[in-house]
Chains A and B, each alone.
Chain A
């Protein structure tokens, strides 16, 4: 089996997994995958680059099972989930017959208990001799989830081989970004080749929350909720956002300058919309950042700025005194309309 190693699932249906019966065939399969971009239902339309493949023995399987661990936000606990219907269509099964998914929740005070392993093993209708090893496997998987602060651990498929062994044929592990400070060895494994280059640039600039979109209005907003509503509003006003960007709460001008650097280096951006409502973030710092951005680079795209909140007077003064040709707005509707107009009038 030759398997594309990318940051996405759904590879089988997308042609990212190939079978070969000779070394030559394996070579050909690997060559066809390496250097290509794989588009699955979990990637965007642009897909992700295939730079590595995993070559492994094809196994004759008797059954394909599913086993996963994630945080269940409604119960506020990690949930271990398993299903007899492993393989490619697990999401559909969860939607159509949720009763076929076995679930057990782990209490952080008590920790994982052996009965939970049995619950999963018997729930999967495993043959008696596999119940104990399956229970241990589930316990070990939970230990991995907990020790490494994962947000997801998934074995799909977990197979029972013809010779009655349990074998993980594929696995996915996601890590909680907030806990990476505890796991520098995991942080070092991040493969930047799997992420959009502009997003990598944003990360290097200290902008954690940037997602590239299809439109032409570069948006800089503070707070994810406000940033999303600005995108919603722009769309209602007939505009197309070029990105989602939450500048966060860092009170330094450098990050603002870097956001402008991102917009200025993105040929798709035809106008910039800055909508800041200061709270933790101080409006004067943002304003100073905008002025610095204009002094450090040649910005020819129209910029619409709307400021409100903590230290707004100081911020307004800074923009006023800079003499920069910035389009001012005093409400989010006005700001969105002016940004849309700025693109149209270019």
Chain B
């Protein structure tokens, strides 16, 4: 098993004819992902990368039976693209696009809440279940099938961690990049629960960073709902203090956004904390050897 995607995933690529969409769709196909079609308004009826292109997601889903979509649509139109795929009934939407206005995401997440569509991202590298399916930008060959789950807010830092794992011959069940935006479609806490329920995941690596309170929420979940060990790293201990104006940000989150506060919360929640980002792989190896939490 794995979470969210596997060899049965039927993927639709929104924005398949664009430069990045095309490049990465091809990479996913080469990895073995079952891409069943793409959308590009105005190019319906054509064929791109050997798969049919549709004008609308609704049509594409009806014709191909797609259950997942990956979005490469430019930021001004990306919120619309997410809503279109949710409306078409897809169970998983992975939005790669970065720089989407926060107000657009407020509306999107309100629309999605309580529905059957899970959103990963935006501003994320996507996800991969090694050896089964890749729905994202990550280089497939740095991964290896196995029993460690990875969930991260950062794209490239995840690649770094995965390559450390693979170099130590530690494979991964699924690696999920939830994205770097202030309000992501899926949270650490939600993905942790999916890993907890996955019979083929033994240890989870959580890669957090400064800002927001997602890590604190994750710490609560680890404490109350998880039996599997979680190895955590929080980036930004030495980050320059962000400049800010006004007081509202501090009123709503206080000091919770700092790396120190997040590390404290995660440690209290029972996670194994790694200080050195170059040693995350080794810490996972130790956690695997130790077994339970």
A residues with CB within 8 A of B: 7-9, 42-44, 66, 68-74, 76-79, 81, 90-91, 94-95, 101, 107-109, 146, 149, 151-152, 154, 156, 172, 174, 176-179, 181-182, 211-213, 221-226, 228-236, 241, 244, 249, 276-281, 308-310, 312, 331-333, 336
- Given that A76-B109, A309-B142 are contacting pairs, would A228 and B209 also be in contact in the complex, using a CB cutoff of 8 Å? yes
Given contacts A94-B250, A108-B106, A229 and B139 within 8 Å (CB-CB): no
Chain A, Cβ-Cβ closest to B213? A74
CB closest residue in chain B, given A107? B110
Find A73's partner among B152, B213, B245, B250 (CB 8 Å cutoff): B213
A sample of 15 inter-chain contacts (CB < 8 A) reads A42-B244, A44-B240, A76-B106, A77-B110, A78-B106, A149-B103, A152-B245, A174-B246, A179-B101, A225-B154, A225-B157, A226-B157, A229-B233, A231-B239, A279-B156
Q: Are A101 and B212 in contact (CB under 8 A)?
A: no
**Contact status of A229 and B102, CB under 8 A, knowing A9-B246, A280-B20, A309-B139:** no
Contact of A279 among B155, B276, B277 (CB under 8 A): B155
Encoded as 1 (CB less than 8 Å from any A CB) or 0, chain B from 234 to 252 comes to: 0111111101111111111
CA distance A277 to B209 in the complex (A): 18
Which B residues between 86 and 135 are near A, CB-CB below 8 angstroms?
96, 98-107, 109-111, 125
> A236 to B102, Cβ gap below 8 A?
no
Contact assessment for A44 and B243 in the assembled complex, using a CB-CB cutoff below 8 Å? yes
A153 → B minimal CB distance (Å): 8
Task: For the complex, give the distance between the alpha carbons of A74 and B102 in Å.
Answer: 13
Question: Is there contact, CB below 8 Å, between B236 and A228?
Answer: yes
Interface centre among A71, A78, A152, by most chain B C-beta atoms within 10 angstroms, is: A71
The answer to whether B237 and A232 have CB atoms under 8 Å apart is: yes
For B111, B138, B248, B249, which residue has the most chain A Cβ atoms within 10 angstroms?
Answer: B248
Cβ of B137 within 8 Å of any chain A Cβ, yes or no, is yes
Residue in A9, A172, A177, A178 whose Cβ sees the most chain B Cβ within 10 Å: A178
CB distance from B130 to the nearest CB of A (A): 15
Query: Which chain B positions have C-beta within 8 A of A177?
Result: 99
Could you say which of B125, B210, B275 contacts A228, with CB atoms under 8 Å apart? Answer: B210
Q: Which residues of B contact A78 (CB under 8 A)?
A: 106
Using A77-B106, A279-B138, A309-B142 as known contacts, say yes or no to A225 and B251 having CB atoms under 8 A apart.
no
B146 in the interface (beta carbon within 8 A): no
Known pairs A223-B157, A236-B276, A333-B278; A176 contacts B101 (CB<8 A): yes
- Contacts A68-B248, A91-B247, A233-B277 hold; do A308 and B109 have CB atoms under 8 A apart? no
A279-B137, A310-B139 known; A223-B106 Cβ under 8 A: no
Q: In the complex, which residue of chain A has the Cβ closest to the Cβ of B76?
A: A181
Contact present for B254 and A95 (CB under 8 Å): yes
Q: Least Cβ distance of A254 to chain B in Å? A: 17
Assembly CA distance A276 to B100 (angstroms): 24
Asked if A277 and B106 make an inter-chain contact with CB atoms under 8 angstroms apart, the answer reads no
Whether A154 contacts B278 in the complex (CB less than 8 A), given A146-B103, A149-B101, comes out as no
Which B residues form the contact surface with A (CB < 8 A)? 20, 24, 75-76, 96, 98-107, 109-111, 125, 137-139, 142, 152-160, 163, 180, 182-183, 207, 209-210, 212-214, 217, 233, 235-241, 243-254, 275-279
Cβ-neighbour of A156 out of B239, B247, B254 (below 8 A): B247
**With A233-B277, A233-B278, A277-B156: A172-B246 Cβ-Cβ less than 8 Å:** yes
Report chain A residues within 8 Å CB of B214: 73
In the complex with contacts A236-B275, A279-B159, A68-B103 CB distance below 8 A: no
Contact A178 B245 (CB under 8 A): no
> What residue in chain B is nearest A148 (Cβ atoms)?
B103
Q: How far is the CA of A223 from the CA of B137 in the complex (A)?
A: 13
Say whether B139 contacts A279, CB under 8 Å: yes
Expressed in whole angstroms, the Cα–Cα distance for A74 and B247 within the complex equals 18
| Nearest 4 interchain pairs by C-beta | A225-B154, A223-B156, A179-B101, A333-B278
Contact B183 A73 (CB under 8 A): yes
Report the separation of the CA atoms of residues A249 and B137 in the bound assembly, to the nearest whole angstrom.
11
With A76-B183, A90-B247 known to touch, is A225 a contact of B103 (CB < 8 Å)?
no
Contact residues in A for B233 (Cβ distance below 8 Å)? 229
Q: CB-CB < 8 A to B251: which residues of A?
A: 68, 70, 81, 90-91, 94, 101
When the two chains form their complex, are residues A332 and B159 in contact, meaning their CB atoms are under 8 A apart? no
**Complex alpha-carbon distance, A43 and B274, angstroms:** 31
Q: How far is the CA of A269 from the CA of B236 in the complex (A)?
A: 21
CA distance A274 to B36 in the complex (A): 38
Shortest distance between the CB of B244 and any CB in chain A (Å): 6
Known: A9-B246, A68-B246, A152-B246. 19 other contacts (CB 8 A): A7-B243, A71-B102, A77-B110, A79-B252, A81-B252, A94-B254, A146-B103, A149-B101, A178-B102, A179-B101, A221-B156, A224-B180, A225-B154, A225-B157, A228-B209, A229-B157, A232-B236, A278-B159, A333-B279
The answer to whether A308 touches B159 (Cβ under 8 A) is yes
Q: With A and B bound together, what is the CA distance between A7 and B244 in angstroms?
A: 8
Please report the C-alpha to C-alpha distance between residue A230 and residue B238 in the assembled complex, in whole angstroms.
10
Taken together as a complex, chains A and B put the C-alpha atoms of A342 and B8 apart, in Å, by 50
Q: Is the CB of A231 within 8 A of B238?
A: yes
Q: Is the CB of A280 within 8 A of B155?
A: yes
What distance in Å separates the Cβ of B256 from its nearest Cβ neighbour in chain A? Answer: 9
The CA-CA distance from A213 to B243 in the complex, in Å, is 13
- Min C-beta distance of A85 to chain B, whole Å: 11
A162 CB to closest chain B CB, in angstroms? 26
Chain A residues whose C-beta falls within 8 Å of the C-beta of B248 in the assembled complex: 68-70, 81, 152, 154
Contact of A226 among B154, B213, B239, B244 (CB under 8 A): B154
Q: How far is the CA of A176 from the CA of B181 in the complex (A)?
A: 12
A71 and B243 contacting across the interface, CB-CB below 8 Å: no
Q: Which residues of B contact A77 (CB under 8 A)?
A: 106, 110
